[in-house]
Structure 1
Amino acid sequence: MAQPTTTPRRRRGSLLTSYYGGTTDASGAPAEASVDPLDDMNIDTDGFNAPKYVGSLLQYKSLEQLVGRGNSMVSEIKSLDSDMQMLVYENYSKFISATDTIQEMKERVDGMEGAMKALEDNFGYISRASEAVSSSFSARRGELERLNTVKKTLKKLQFLMDLPARLQDCIAEGELALAVRCHAKAVKIMAAAGKHAAGFDGIRSECEQIMARLSSSLHERLEDESLPPDALCETVWLLLRLGGREDSLLPTFLERRRKALTTAINAFTPAVGADAAADADAAADAAADAAEGDAAEAPEAGEGDGAGGRGEGLLPARAPTRSVTAEHTRQLGALVVPQLLELVAAWRDKFGGEGGGGEAEASRERKEGMLAECVGEVCGALLEAVRQLMSEEAVPSEELLEGCGELLDAIAPLHEELPAAKLQLRATRLAEGLARRSVEQQLARLGDRLSGAVEEMASPDPDGDAPSGSLHAELRAVGGTASLCVRDALSLVAPLLAPLCEQLRTRADGMALHLVQRLHAAVRCMLTKALAPRRAPRAVLLCAGCCLQMAAGGVADVPEALRQLLAPQGLAGAALGFDSAALTADFRAAADSLLQRFVEMQAQALSRHLSRRVQATDWLNCPPPNGVTPLVRTLVAELRAMQRVAASLFPSEPLKPMLPQGPFPPMTPLEQQLAVKLAASAGGGGGTASIQMDLQRIFARKVSFEAGGFDGGGKNARGREPTLGGMVGHVAKLTLKTLVEEVRCATFSKHGFQQMQVDAAMLRWVLPAAADGEPLLALLDEAFLSCQERSLECVPLEHTVLEAFCENERRSLLAAIH
C-alpha cells in the first residue's frame, strides 16, 4: 500500500524547522516520535476521529481524569497559539533585519569600485619600484656582502680586545650576570676561531683569572645563610654558568629553600585584628603583582591554563568576615604558597634547561622531579601545620568547612603549576580526614551527653526514692533528652556533609555512611553506660527504664532525624544504613538484663533482712502469738515499695494492691492432713497420714540468686516478656525460699510453731493478690511443713484464731495506706 502524501501541516512544520533551526530525521521531517498517519485516535494525524476519541474517553476515563484531560487540552491549545504567534513575530523581525542588511550592503558596494582601483594602482607602483632597486644593486651585491663580513669580524675582534676591561667594569658595578654572558660569548668566538685563536691566549688567560676570582666570591656568598631567595637563585645560576657542578649546586639550592620555608611554617604566628587585615591586603597586592609579572613575561602561557588568575586564586575573598580558623589557614597559605610559586618559576627559568633532544628532555624531567620532591616536602609541613591548627577540640564544623576551603584554594594554583607533586590530592585527603575527625568529635560528644544523661538519672536521689509517677516522668524526660541531643548533634554535622564533599570533590554517600556508623556508636554509648554495674537497685531500675524508652521509640527517632536533616542534600538514603532494628533489640535485651539484675538485688536485700530477723528470733522461748510479727510487715512493706517503684516501667499494667483480697482462705490440705495426723497420733494410728504428707512434700533446694526467673533473653521462665507481677512474684519466691532454708535450720517450741503458722497464714492471704499464687503457696506450705518437723511440740492454732489475727493485721494495713 502506498504511503500517504505529506500533509500540509507536516510540510509547514518541516519548513519552519528548517528555517528556524532544529533537529530533523533522515527524511527531512522534524525529529519527533514516529506517528502512524492511519491512527484515528491520534490528534496529530489527518485521520483523527474526534467522536471516537471522545467516546473512548467517556467510556474508559473517570470524571476526574476527563476534567484533567480537558484542562490539559486547553493548556496545549494556548501553548500552540503562543508558539505560532512567536514564530510569526520572529519571522517578521528577521524579514525587517534582512531588508536593512541588504540596503546597507548596497550602499557599501557602490563605493568599493573606486577604492579597489586605487589599491590596484598602488600595488603596481610598489612592484615597479622594487624592480628598480634590485637592478641598481645587483652589480655591487657581492662586494657589499664581503665588506659586511669584514665588519662583523672586526666587531668580534674589538669585543675580544675590550673583554678584560668590560668584565672588570661589570663586576665592579655588580652586573655579574652580564659579565658571565660576555665571557660565555667570548669563549664561543675563540672556539670558532680554531687555529687562529692562539693570538688571544693572553686575553683568555686574563679573563679566566677574572672569572676565577668571581667564582670564588660567589662560593663565599653562597655560604651566607641569610642570603635572600632571589640572590640565592642568582648565585647558583651564575656558578652553574661558570662551570659549577649541577649535582651539588641544585640540591644545595633546593635544600636551602626547603629549610627556610619549613622554618617559617614552624615559626608561624597568626596575626590578629588590624595586623591580619594589613597582612591580607599586602599579600593580595603581592599576589596580583606577581600574576601581572608572569603574564607580562609569558603572555601566551596563561591563555590555556588559567595562570593569569593566580593572584585571585591565592587569596580568595570567601566571605566578608572569615572565622578564626579560616583566617589563620589563609594567613599560613599566604605565607608559604607565593614563595613556592616563586621557587617554581625561578627554577624553571634558571635551571629548566634549553634545547631539544633526548638528553635535554631527560635532564628536564630529572629537574622537575627534584622540584616536585622539594615542593612536596614543604607542602607536607604546611599541611601538618594546618592539621594541628584544625585539630583543636573547640573548632566548630562551620569553621572547619571554611578552613578546608581556604586550604584547597591556597593549594590550587600551586597544583596547577606542579601537578606531579599531587598537592591537591594530599590537601583533599587531609581535609577529608579532618572532616571525619570533626564528625567523630561531634558524635563522641553526643555519646558523652547521652552517657551523662543516664548517669545523672541513675545518680543517688538526695531526697530519697521518688514516687512512681515522677519516675515515669523522669524516664520520659531522659528519652526526650536523648532525642534532643541526637538532633542537636546531627544539626551541627549533617548540613555540612554535601557542601564539604562538593568542596573536596568526594562522594557524599561515603561521608554520610561514616556519620551513620559513628552515630550508631554514639547511641550505643548510652547502652554501655546503662549496663555499668551499680549498687543501688533504684539506679538499676531507672537504667532499665531508660533502655525500655529507647527501645520503644528513642532508637526509631534517630533514622527519622537523619532522613529529615539529610533529605535537603539528597542523602536521605544514608539513613537506611542505621541498623535501628539491631540496636532496638540490644536495648530491649539490656532492659531485660537490668530488670533481672534489679529483681536479684531486691531479692538478695530482702532475703538478707529476712535471714537476720529469723536468726535473731528465739523461737524456743516465744510467747503465745497475739498477731503477725514485724517480719511479715517488713516483707509486705518492702514488696509494696518495690512494686510502687517498678510500676513506673509498666504504665500500661494495672497496679495490683499488696493487700488481702476476698475472704480469709480456708485450711489448706496440708493443714487438714496435719490435724488428721495429730488426731490419729493421739489415737495411736498416725502412720498412714504421715506417709501421705511426706509424699506431697515439695523438695526445696538451697536458694540461689543466679538467673533463675528469667532466661538469657530477659524473658521469664515461661517465655513471656517481663511484667510487674512477674517481677514481684520472683522476688517473693526467692525470699520465701530463704525463709524455708532458715526454718529448716531453726528449732521451734509450741508457741514458736504457732507464731510461724500465723505469719504463713497472713502471707498466704496477701501475696497471691499481687503475684502468681501457686509457687508462693507451695513455698509457704513447704515452710509450714519444715517448721512442723523442727517443732518440739506441734500444736497448731484453730483456723478461726488464725483468721482473727490476720483480720486485725489487714485492718492495720488498710489504716496505714489511708
Structure 2
Amino acid sequence: MAADDVPVDDKVKRTRDLLSSFYSQDSSQTAGPTNSTSRFATLDTINTTSFDADQYMNLLVQKSNLEGLLQRHVEMAAEIKNLDTDLQMLVYENYNKFISATDTIRRMKNNIVGMEVNMEQLLDKIMSVQSRSDGVNTSLFEKREHIEKLHRTRNLLRKVQFIYDLPTTLGKCIKSEAYGDAVRFYTGAMPIFKAYGDSSFQDCKKASEEVMSVIVNKLQDKVSSDSESIQARAEAVMLLKQLDFPVENLKSKLLEKLEQFLGELNLVKEINMGSADHHKSTNAGSEADSTPPTPEVPTREFVQAVHAYHVIFPDSEQQLVKLVHDLTTRHFEAAKQQIQEQISSEKLSNRLRFIWTDVLSIDEVLPEAGLQDFAFEAAHVALKQYVTNAFSHLLHKISDTLLQIQKDGTGEEYPLQSALDASRKTLIQGSTKVLLDIRYLLDEDLGLILKLRSAIISWVQEGFESFFRQLNDQLLYLSGKYVPGAQGQALTEKLQADKIPAGLVLVIAELSVFIERDAISKLTEEIRSSFSGGGPVFVPAEVRHTFKSAGEKFLLRYINMRTQRISVLLRKRLTTPNWIKHKEPREVHMFVDLFLQELRAVGSEVKQILPHGLVRKHSRTESNGSTSSSRSNALRDNRSNTNRARSQLLETHLAKLFKQKMEIFTKVEHTQESVVMNIVKLCLKSLQEFVRLQTFNRSGFQQIQLDMQYLRITLKDSAEDEAAVEFLLDEVIVAAAERCLDPSPLEPAILDRLVQAKLARTMDQGTVSS
C-alpha cells in the first residue's frame, strides 16, 4: 500500500505546483506560520494555504482506524482524478485563448504596415492647404480693411438717416398707436441727441420732442381712460417711465383702476363658475366634450397687471399684497356663502380649484405676498365649516323627519312605523352621503386640499362624535326635555312642549336603540375604511353607551306620558262625584271604557314599533300570598255589622304584614307586552292612591268594586303579569273599603249580572262598529 501511495503523492504535489504557478499565488500568503498552525491543526486544513501534509497524515492516523484510512484513500483518489480532469480542461481552454490572441496580434501587425505611409501623405496635404490659405489672406488683407471701413460708414449713414427720419417715423407710430415702438425709437436716438442735439441734429431733436410730447399726452389719456384694460394702462405707465416722465402722480390712479378691475374680475369669475356648473350638469352622462369655461383670461390679465405695477412701482409692495389678499379673501367668502347654502362637494372642489389656480399664478409674480400660506389658512376655515355644516344639515333633516309625526298625525293615527323607517333611512343615508362627499374632496388632486388631508380626516371623526352628542340632545328636546344652548332655542319654534305626541317619544326610543345596535357599527366601519391616517380614530363605545341609556330613558318617558294622561282621567273620575251621597250602582262607570280605550291606543302605538316579547303569563293563586280571597269573604260576612267590618279591616292590615312579597314593578323591556303592562300597573297604582283620598258610602264602595271586577275580566287576557294586575285591583278595592263608612260588598250574583250585562253591550257595540 505504501508503494501505491508514493506516485499518488507525487502526482498531487505536481498538480498543486502547476495550479500555484498558473494562478501566481503570492509565496507570502501560501507560507504560514508553522507553530501557530500546528497547535490548532485539524482535518479541515487540507483546503487552506497553510496545509502541512506530514502533520495532516499524523493527525489522520491518530484519529482514524484502518478501515477509515482505506475509505479516506478511496475518496482522495477520486478527488485527485476530478482535479486532474479539471486541470486538463483548464489547460485546453487557456491554450485555445492563447492561439486566438496570437492570431489577433498577427492581423493587427498586417493592418498597421501601410498606415505610416498614409499618415505622411496626409501631413503633406495639410501643409499645402495651410500655405495656400496664408497666401489668400495676405492678398485680401487690404481689401478686407477697405470693406470694413465701408461697412462702418454705411451703418453711420443709416443712423444719420434714422435720426433725420425720426420725426416722420414717430408720426407714423402715433397714427398706428404703436406707442411702444415710438418710445423705443426715441430712447434709441437719445444718445445722439445728447451728443449732437445742439449742433448737427438740432432741428431733428426739436421735431422729435414735439412729436413725443403728443405721445406722452396720449399715454396719459390712456392711463385715465376707463375703456382701456388694466394691462394697457400698466403698459402706458411703463412707457412713460422709460421717457423719464414723473409717474408717481399716476400711482394712486392706477391702483384705483386695479381695484376696480379686481371687482370686475370677481364678477366674471362668478359668472364663469356658474356657467361651469351648468355646463357640467347639462353634459352629465354624455360622451361629448364636457370641459367647462374657465376664467383663465381675466385672471391672466390681472396677474400681468400686478406684475407690471410691481415693476413700475417697486415701493408699492404692501399695497399689492393687501390687494391680492383681498382678492383671495373674497373668493373664500363666496365659497363660505355657498357652503351655507349646502353646496355640493363637486361644486366646492371646482371653486377651490379656481381659487388655487389664481393663487399659484399670482404667487409667481408676487411671491412677497405669501399667498399660498394665506390661502391655506382661509381654506382651513372654509373646509372645516363645510364639514360642520354637513353634520348640522344632517341633524336638521333627522329632526324634520321626526317632526312629521306632530304635523301629520293626531291621536292614534300617528304614522309611527313610517316615521321610524324614515328617520333610520335619513340617518344612515345622510351619514353615508357626508362621508362620500368628503371622500370626493380628498380624492381630488388639488394642492389646497392635499395639505389639509389629515386635518379633514380629523374633522370628520370629531364631527361624528359631536354629531351624535348633538343628536342625543336634540332627541331629548324633542321628547320634552329642556336642552340649554343654541340648538334648543332653534327647536323652540318648531316644537311646542305641551303638545308633544307620546308616539314621537316612542319613535325616538326605538331610534336610539337602532343607533346603539346597528347604526354605530356601520358608520364606524365606513369611517375606518375610508378615513384612516389622520388624527384620533372615532371610538364608538361611549356613543353606544349614551344611546343605550337614552333608549331606556325615552321608553320610560313614553310610559310616564301615557300614564299621566290616563291618571288625569282617573283623578277627574274620583274627584268629581260626591261619594258620600253616591247612588246604588247600576252599571260599570264610563271612565272604565275611557281607561280601556286609552290602553287600546297604547297597544296600537306599540304594535307599530315594538316587537313581541316572550309570552310569560303569571297567574294568580292562593299560594302566592294574596289576601284577596280572605278579604272578599270577610267583606261579604260583614254586610250587617259595620263594627265587625271594621274589625275585619284590622285583620286585613295584619295579613299584609305576613303575606308573601310580590314584585309589582319590574324592568321595562322594549317589547309590546312589557310597555303595556307597566302602564297598566302604574295606572292602577295611581287609582289606588286617588281612592285613598276619598270617603265612600256603601254604594260608592260597591261602584268601585263593580268597576274593578269588570277590569279584572277585560284585562285578564291581555295582561302579561296577571297576578300583579289582580293584586293591584284588589289593592284598589281594599283602599276603597278602608275609606268606606259601610264597606258592604255587592252580592256575587248581582256583581256577575252587572258585569255580564256590560260585556254583552260592549260586544254588541263592537259588532255594530265592525
Q: TM-score range by the shorter chain?
A: 0.5 to 0.7
Name the aligned partner's letter for residue 455 of structure 2: G
Q: Which residue in 1 is equivalent to 2:518?
A: 553
2:336 touches 2:382 (CA, 8 Å); kept in 1? no
1:754 touches 1:796 (CA, 8 Å); kept in 2? yes
Q: Which residue in 2 is equivalent to 1:587?
A: 547
Q: Aligned-pair distance for 1:580?
A: 2.8
Q: Which residue in 1 is equivalent to 2:505?
A: 540
Q: Which runs of 5+ in 1 are unaligned?
A: 1-98, 280-318, 353-362, 699-715
Cα distance change on mapping 1:110 and 1:398 into 2, 3 Å = farther
Q: Aligned-pair distance for 1:748?
A: 2.6
Q: Which residue in 2 is equivalent to 1:510?
A: 455
1:602 aligns with 2:562: yes
1:748 aligns with 2:682: no
Q: Which residue in 2 is equivalent to 1:57?
A: none
Q: Aligned-pair distance for 1:620?
A: 4.5
Q: Which residue in 2 is equivalent to 1:731?
A: 679
1:225 aligns with 2:221: no
Query: 1:105-254 counterparts in 2 under 5 A?
Result: 118=125, 121-123=128-130, 125-126=132-133, 166-167=166-167, 170-171=170-171, 173-174=173-174, 188=191, 215-216=216-217, 218-229=219-230, 231-254=232-255
Q: Which residue in 1 is equivalent to 2:349?
A: 401
Q: Aligned-pair distance for 1:615?
A: 4.0
Which of 439-448 and 661-670 deviates more?
A: 661-670
2:391 touches 2:434 (CA, 8 Å); kept in 1? yes
Partners of 2:514 and 2:572 in 1: how far apart?
38
2:412 touches 2:601 (CA, 8 Å); kept in 1? no
2:698 touches 2:741 (CA, 8 Å); kept in 1? yes
Partners of 1:492 and 1:177 in 2: how far apart?
52
Partners of 1:387 and 1:477 in 2: how far apart?
32
Partners of 2:445 and 2:164 in 1: how far apart?
65
Partners of 1:519 and 1:262 in 2: how far apart?
39
Partners of 2:707 and 2:326 in 1: how far apart?
87
Partners of 1:397 and 1:624 in 2: how far apart?
76
1:455 aligns with 2:455: no
Give deviations 1:216-252, integer Å, cap 9, x for gaps. 5544554333345565345323432343224334454
Partners of 2:574 and 2:677 in 1: how far apart?
21
Cα distance change on mapping 1:123 and 1:520 into 2, 3 Å = farther
Name the aligned partner's letter for residue 565 of structure 2: A
Q: Aligned-pair distance for 1:559?
A: 1.7
Name the aligned partner's letter for residue 787 of structure 1: A
Give deviations 1:586-624, integer Å, cap 9, x for gaps. 333332232222222211221222233334555455555
Q: TM-score, normalised by structure 2?
A: 0.61
Query: 1:29-68 counterparts in 2 under 5 A?
Result: none
Partners of 2:163 and 2:591 in 1: how far apart?
125
Cα distance change on mapping 1:152 and 1:740 into 2, 3 Å = same
Q: Which residue in 1 is equivalent to 2:257?
A: 256
Partners of 2:340 and 2:416 in 1: how far apart?
40
Q: What secondary structure sits across from 2:562 in the alignment?
A: helix
Give deviations 1:748-800, integer Å, cap 9, x for gaps. 33232233234445657877983668987776566445533543333345678
Partners of 1:640 and 1:217 in 2: how far apart?
94
Q: TM-score, normalised by structure 1?
A: 0.58
2:458 touches 2:536 (CA, 8 Å); kept in 1? no
Q: Aligned-pair distance for 1:537?
A: 2.1
Partners of 1:373 and 1:122 in 2: how far apart?
72
Q: Aligned-pair distance for 1:410?
A: 5.9
Q: Which residue in 1 is equivalent to 2:737?
A: 788
1:487 aligns with 2:432: yes
Q: Aligned-pair distance for 1:545?
A: 2.0
1:624 touches 1:755 (CA, 8 Å); kept in 2? yes
Q: Which residue in 1 is equivalent to 2:297?
A: 335
Which of 447-456 and 598-607 deviates more?
A: 447-456
Name the aligned partner's letter for residue 537 of structure 1: A
2:454 touches 2:535 (CA, 8 Å); kept in 1? no
Partners of 2:165 and 2:417 in 1: how far apart?
104
Name the aligned partner's letter for residue 751 of structure 1: S
Partners of 2:182 and 2:189 in 1: how far apart?
11
Q: Report the aligned-residue RMSD.
A: 5.9
Q: Which residue in 2 is equivalent to 1:282?
A: none
Q: Aligned-pair distance for 1:558?
A: 1.6
Query: 1:95-114 counterparts in 2 under 5 A?
Result: none
Give deviations 1:622-671, integer Å, cap 9, x for gaps. 55556754544544554455356436655252356799899997645656
1:415 touches 1:424 (CA, 8 Å); kept in 2? yes
Cα distance change on mapping 1:494 and 1:674 into 2, 3 Å = same
Give deviations 1:547-574, integer Å, cap 9, x for gaps. 222222123222223345x2xxxx3467
Partners of 1:248 and 1:268 in 2: how far apart?
31
Partners of 2:155 and 2:613 in 1: how far apart?
119
Q: What secondary structure sits across from 1:327 in the alignment?
A: coil
Greater C-alpha radius of gyration = 2
Partners of 2:369 and 2:462 in 1: how far apart?
34
Cα distance change on mapping 1:237 and 1:603 into 2, 3 Å = closer
Q: Aligned-pair distance for 1:336?
A: 1.3
Name the aligned partner's letter for residue 581 of structure 1: A
Partners of 1:133 and 1:368 in 2: how far apart?
61
Name the aligned partner's letter for residue 583 of structure 1: V
2:223 touches 2:254 (CA, 8 Å); kept in 1? no
Q: What secondary structure sits across from 2:457 in the alignment?
A: helix
Partners of 1:164 and 1:731 in 2: how far apart?
115
Which of 486-495 and 651-660 deviates more?
A: 651-660
Q: What is the percent sequence identity of the aligned residues? A: 19
Partners of 2:377 and 2:427 in 1: how far apart?
33
Q: Aligned-pair distance for 1:742?
A: 3.9
1:454 touches 1:546 (CA, 8 Å); kept in 2? no
Cα distance change on mapping 1:222 and 1:200 into 2, 3 Å = same
Query: 1:438-449 counterparts in 2 under 5 A?
Result: 439=387, 442-449=390-397
Name the aligned partner's letter for residue 791 of structure 1: C
Q: Aligned-pair distance for 1:165?
A: 7.7
Partners of 1:488 and 1:741 in 2: how far apart?
53
1:559 touches 1:575 (CA, 8 Å); kept in 2? no
1:541 touches 1:598 (CA, 8 Å); kept in 2? yes
Q: Aligned-pair distance for 1:376?
A: 5.5
Q: What secondary structure sits across from 2:395 in the alignment?
A: helix
Cα distance change on mapping 1:724 and 1:464 into 2, 3 Å = closer
Q: What secondary structure sits across from 2:444 in the alignment?
A: helix
Q: Aligned-pair distance for 1:463?
A: 9.6
Q: What secondary structure sits across from 1:577 in the alignment?
A: coil
